[in-house]
């Protein structure tokens, strides 16, 4: 296939196979295999694969359902706690338990800490490697020269005079801002550990609440670190804005990098304890009260913010994955508790039947299945993405305009945020506007703003929690009720929907947890 025709006078590459496998920046060993026509400057074929096994629900079969969140969290070493929390929300719904308010707030505080951790480290230590000085010098030296002579518009806020200074600060292992972010990652993990015990496989997040001893000291420890983080965000957001604007200005066409139709899906995150009752029948109502609004966006249009509707739109297609079809297997749920029909391809009815085999580009070549959003208006399966997480979260939240908790307000076109005064900076206003395009830069930019957004959610929830004083939000659950329930939660880098299906006399033996891996969603959509 590869025709490398090189003569001394004229080096001609022609059509060549290029492979990147594994891409370790993406957890779960993403591999990209392409065939590139260098003459026509065109990618002829492109396959994304993952050789890491998917199908954690197999491990859930037959175990005590109360253990599921401890096992699901092991799916990932970065976002395990989100899988855990998602599973716990599932269980709350399945058992019909409502944690005391501080329990819900503690879920939120732990999750907010994780979002802060993940967005900071992902943006500056992984994504921004693409924009750092070392990389730009090697790939585009002309651009670096321009950057040296471009003053950054927000240099008074972040302290870097030129764009090249920003790029140098982002150099891996030597850059100032890169190293600072590594420290930020440490203390945001400390924040998580205050509530979760451990990051990323928490030991205190339980159905019915959080078993951590939450005292005023816990809240103070959290608060101190949170304010340090908000101080950091006040430099981080303008820094990223300057950098990304520079790339968009200087490299025409850069806004087409990673461009795709705005098809988004967001399950929402951070429940409001005053509204959430973990009852499927009211899921649409309490879903809309989440601090991150759930929603499905098809071609730039917000279709729904109703979690029940969103849930019923999910389909798992086999795609090119090493799984056998489950159409002949048992149908666990034909109708949801509201009487809506549930499709055979819905994750509730999924039976995972792995079939490892040789990689074949014509047929099956990945462990990742294809989660899709079913659009009944056009009878199509939409490959909705999450925009790497924050993009979809902010897009939907901003558009829906339902969120207003003082520190942040969704306006229908943007999210307005007010960062309170911190040690080195006065109060600061930020506004994230819905961008015209869904592309790589905008996804990164959304992540920078989401650092601020999740910090504000943390602050708001902490204030709510601290007012309540110490208590032990722990309930012991006895037995299970119900047939099939689901909880859906956003992961920092994707989305996860999980379902505990338990029925009849299988109650004590445990159900199943067909969970779409966050990476599965990501892999297929980005």
Partner 1 sequence: MVKCNVPVRGWQSGIGGCPNVGGICMACTMPGFPDKYMPFMDEDKYGAAAANFIKFTYGPLVRHFRARNVKTKYDKEPEWRKRGTTLTTGYQKRW
Interacting residue ranges for partner 1, rule: CB under 8 A: 63-64, 66-67, 70-71, 186-187, 189-190, 192-199, 201-204, 206, 211-213, 218, 221
Q: How far is the CB of 110 from partner 1 (least distance, A)?
A: 11
Give the residue with the Cβ less far from partner 1, 151 or 203. 203
Find residue 404's DSSP bridge partners: 409
Give the residue with the Cβ less far from partner 1, 99 or 196. 196
Task: Give CA–CA dist 496/265, Å, rounded.
Answer: 11
Q: What is the dihedral of CA 302, 308, 314, 315, to 10 degrees?
A: -140
Give the residue with the Cβ less far from partner 1, 423 or 476. 476
Q: How far is the CB of 63 from partner 1 (least distance, A)?
A: 6
Give the residue with the Cβ less far from partner 1, 90 or 438. 90
| E strand or H helix at 370 | strand 370-375
Q: How far is the CB of 274 from partner 1 (least distance, A)?
A: 25
Give the residue with the Cβ less far from partner 1, 84 or 417. 84
Q: How far is the CB of 113 from partner 1 (least distance, A)?
A: 11
Closest C-alpha to 312, from 279, 292, 339, 289: 339
Q: How far is the CB of 489 from partner 1 (least distance, A)?
A: 20
Task: Give CA–CA dist 405/343, Å, rounded.
Answer: 37
Residue 428 has which token pair? 């600061």
Please, where are the H alpha helices in 131-173? 133-139, 141-148, 155-158, 163-169
Q: How far is the CB of 106 from partner 1 (least distance, A)?
A: 11
Closest C-alpha to 47, from 398, 523, 516: 523
Find residue 91's DSSP bridge partners: none
Q: How far is the CB of 512 from partner 1 (least distance, A)?
A: 16
Q: Rounded to 5 degrees, what are φ and ψ at 456?
A: -70, -35
Closest C-alpha to 369, from 319, 324, 329, 325: 319
Residue 96 has which token pair? 């019909």
Residue 359 has which token pair? 């990689």
Q: How far is the CB of 214 from partner 1 (least distance, A)?
A: 8
The total number of residues shown for the chain amounts to 526
Give the residue with the Cβ less far from partner 1, 64 or 301. 64
Are the C-beta atoms of 448 and 122 separated by less than 8 Å?
Answer: no
Give the residue with the Cβ less far from partner 1, 55 or 497. 55
Q: How far is the CB of 187 from partner 1 (least distance, A)?
A: 8
- CB proximity list for 67: less than 8 A, separation 6 or greater: none
The number of beta carbons lying within 10 Å of the beta carbon of residue 468 is 15
Give the residue with the Cβ less far from partner 1, 55 or 202. 202
| E strand or H helix at 494 | strand 494-501
Give the residue with the Cβ less far from partner 1, 69 or 490. 69
Compute the radius of gyration of the chain from its Cα atoms.
Answer: 23
Q: Rounded to 5 degrees, what are φ and ψ at 326?
A: -110, 20
């Amino acid at each position: 296939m590869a025709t490398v025709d090189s003569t001394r006078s004229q080096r001609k590459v022609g059509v060549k196979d290029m492979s990147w496998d594994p891409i370790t920046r993406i957890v779960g060993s993403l591999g990209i295999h392409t065939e590139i026509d260098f003459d026509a400057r065109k990618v002829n074929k492109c396959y994304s694969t993952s050789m890491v096994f998917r199908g954690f629900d197999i491990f859930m079969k037959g175990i005590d359902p109360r253990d599921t969140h401890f096992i699901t969290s092991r799916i990932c070493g970065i976002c395990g706690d989100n899988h855990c929390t998602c599973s716990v929300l599932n269980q709350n719904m399945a058992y019909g338990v409502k944690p005391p308010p501080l329990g819900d707030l503690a879920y939120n505080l732990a999750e907010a800490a994780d979002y802060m951790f993940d967005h900071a480290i992902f943006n500056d230590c992984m994504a921004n490697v693409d924009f750092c000085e070392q990389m730009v010098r090697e790939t585009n030296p002309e651009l670096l020269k321009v950057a040296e002579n471009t003053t950054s518009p927000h240099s008074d806020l972040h302290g870097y005079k030129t764009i090249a200074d920003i790029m140098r600060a982002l150099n891996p292992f030597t850059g100032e801002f890169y190293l600072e972010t590594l420290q930020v990652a440490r203390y945001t993990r400390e924040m998580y550990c205050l509530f979760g015990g451990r990051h990323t496989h928490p030991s205190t997040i339980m159905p019915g609440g959080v078993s951590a001893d939450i005292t005023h000291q816990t809240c103070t420890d959290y608060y101190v670190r949170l304010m340090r983080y908000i101080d950091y965000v006040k430099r981080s957001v303008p820094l990223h804005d300057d950098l990304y604007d520079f790339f968009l200005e200087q490299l025409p066409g850069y806004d087409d990098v990673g461009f795709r139709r705005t098809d988004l899906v967001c399950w929402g995150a951070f429940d409001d304890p005053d509204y959430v009752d973990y009852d499927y029948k009211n899921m649409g109502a309490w879903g809309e009260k989440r601090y991150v609004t759930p929603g499905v966006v098809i071609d730039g249009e917000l279709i729904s913010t109703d979690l029940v509707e969103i849930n019923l739109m999910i389909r798992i297609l086999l795609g090119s994955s090493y799984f056998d079809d489950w159409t002949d297997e048992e149908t666990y749920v034909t109708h949801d508790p509201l009487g809506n029909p549930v499709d055979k391809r819905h994750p509730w009815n999924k039976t995972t039947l792995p079939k490892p085999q040789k990689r074949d580009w014509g047929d099956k070549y990945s462990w990742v299945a294809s989660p899709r959003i079913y659009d009944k208006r056009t009878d199509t399966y939409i490959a909705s993405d999450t925009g790497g997480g924050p993009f979809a979260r902010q897009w939907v939240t901003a558009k829906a305009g339902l969120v207003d908790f003082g520190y942040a307000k969704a306006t229908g076109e943007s999210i307005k945020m007010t960062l309170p005064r911190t040690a080195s900076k006065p109060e600061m206003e930020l506004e994230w506007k819905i961008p015209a395009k869904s592309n790589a830069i905008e996804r990164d930019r959304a992540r920078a703003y989401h650092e601020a957004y999740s910090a504000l959610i943390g602050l708001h929830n902490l204030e709510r929690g601290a007012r309540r004083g110490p208590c032990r939000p722990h309930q012991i659950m006895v037995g299970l009720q119900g047939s099939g329930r689901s909880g859906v939660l956003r992961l920092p880098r994707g989305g996860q929907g999980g379902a505990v299906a338990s029925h009849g006399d299988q109650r004590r033996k445990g159900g199943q947890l067909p969970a779409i891996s966050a990476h599965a969603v990501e892999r297929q959509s980005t």
